[in-house]
Homo-oligomer: A and B are copies of this chain.
Amino acid sequence: MLEAILRSQCALDPRRPVLVGVSGGPDSLCLLGGLHAAGYPVIVAHFNHKLRPEADEDAGFVADHARSLGLPCVTESADVAAYAAGQGLSIEEAARILRYRFLFAAARKNAAQAVAVGHTADDQVETVLMHFLRGAGLDGLKGMEYRSLLPAFDPEIPLVRPLLSLWREDTEGYCREHGLSPRLDASNADPAYFRNRLRLELIPILTRYNPQFKSALLRSAAALQGDHDLLRESVEAACRETCRESGEGWIAFDADRLAGLSPAMRRNLIRTAGETLRPESSDFGFEALLRVADFAGQPAPGKQVDFACGLYLFAEPGRVVLAAYEADLRSAAWPQVDSAVEIGAAALDLGDGWTLAIERLDLDAPRLELPGDTWSAWLDADALNGPLTVRAPRPGDRFQPLGMPDGSLKLSDFFINVKLPKRARAHWPLVCSGDRIVWVPGYRPAHAARGTEATRRVLKMSLKKL
């Protein structure tokens, strides 16, 4: 049965090496024995938590056992208590992080196809119960999976748990049958650990309410895993249809499509996007999800809402963007400039594939309406004076757009009127003649540079993205 699980549920290839985390307890000895017997090339890995007096003996036992099987063995130790104190983590959480870091680093170094750990059906029941008590959603209640990725530790090497349908007493039986004397972890009986209290006290109580409680919980977890997979499929399909663009630390959605999804789908989609931006965080909290899903249901351009884990959501015309507070939100879809550059005869490279081209044309006859579109403009060359430059906006900039014969606007108000997304404004390219803005690419030429009856010489400018 284990062989079938290794192949199908864990999707392991019997010819490629597997790195097995071995504590020396019955579960990991059983897992190691099973993988070895099934013919997998195995690398034994032991992490010495240095938390108990017997820790070094455990490490020696594992190394000896690996040697007796003729298997390579890698070990590492770390000061878990110090790390926990430094990071403000519980001892269990700190131990978990350091242990997985070591296991995945060793797996990568040894070109292992997966990290295998000895979690059993009992661990699954404890895990699901723990999530149940703290009010988890589907993500937590589904429990552990035979094969999963932990992007916080490695983006590709999966964690596999081949023993998830085996009870702890089965692994103990395996050790007895194979003459193995597993190490006993005395801390497993310490009621100071929450998980131990569940195992020793609470699960026996719950079993009084349903004698089949443990297998019932396993069945629940299996059903919820199926539902979770299905949900993930749907959410990923919705993502593909809703995401429009992304950059380092941000993901932009089509505002209408996002608002058109059901609230539950919006919550799931934003959670999935949040996990992409913050792979080390797995729990944003349900309240936070409700808040951002509400916001995305009726987004008001210019507004933003805090999410969780240093992420926030903001709306701009046509887009809703999930972003990290520290992210650079510039989009390569827009032309953006940093400093002022003089426009010469040659085409000007503005970066991100954007180029400004210039052409000088002579007109045979007057044309009252000069042509132009979003990304190109014809200007009256004789109306321009002073050197032509491209630069970013400056405080106090004013602009007199075509069609506004008298006075001028604050450039910031013009940007608001034309609904230029806020994050694009600071670096939006402005074509200037001397200190006057003569063209705001993407929007409007200046009124003073328009074509008149007298226009004979034209400057044709176009901005193009390759």
Contacts and interface: CB of A to CB of B under 8 A. Distances in A.
Contact of A141 (B220, B231, B263): B220
A193 interface: no
A219 B197 CA distance: 24
Given A230-B231, A230-B265, A216 B134 contact: yes
Interface in A222-240: 222-224, 226-227, 229-231, 233-234
A206 B135 contact: no
A231 to B, nearest CB: 6
Interface residues of A, number: 41
Given A141-B224, A230-B268, 8 more contacts: A133-B206, A133-B209, A134-B216, A135-B218, A137-B227, A197-B209, A230-B234, A233-B262
Contacts of A209: 133, 194, 197-198, 202
Per DSSP, chain A at the interface is helix
Contacts of A206: 133, 202
Contact of A229 (B198, B219, B233, B262): B262
A282 B227 CA distance: 17
A224 to B, nearest CB: 6
| Protomer copies | 2
Interface of A: 132-138, 141, 194, 197-198, 202, 205-206, 209-210, 212-213, 215-220, 222-224, 226-227, 229-231, 233-234, 262-265, 267-268, 286
List the 3 closest A-B pairs by CB distance, nearest first. Answer: A135-B216, A226-B264, A137-B223
A206 B198 CA distance: 10
Contacts of A234: 230-231, 233-234
A210 B138 contact: no
B205 A202 contact: yes
A233 B235 CA distance: 12
24 contacts: A133-B206, A133-B210, A133-B213, A134-B210, A135-B210, A135-B212, A135-B215, A135-B217, A135-B218, A135-B220, A136-B220, A138-B138, A138-B224, A141-B220, A141-B224, A197-B209, A219-B286, A226-B263, A227-B268, A230-B231, A230-B265, A231-B231, A233-B262, A233-B265
A226 B216 CA distance: 23
B262 A223 contact: no
A263 B234 CA distance: 14
A219 B288 CA distance: 12
Contacts of A263: 226
A202 B220 CA distance: 20
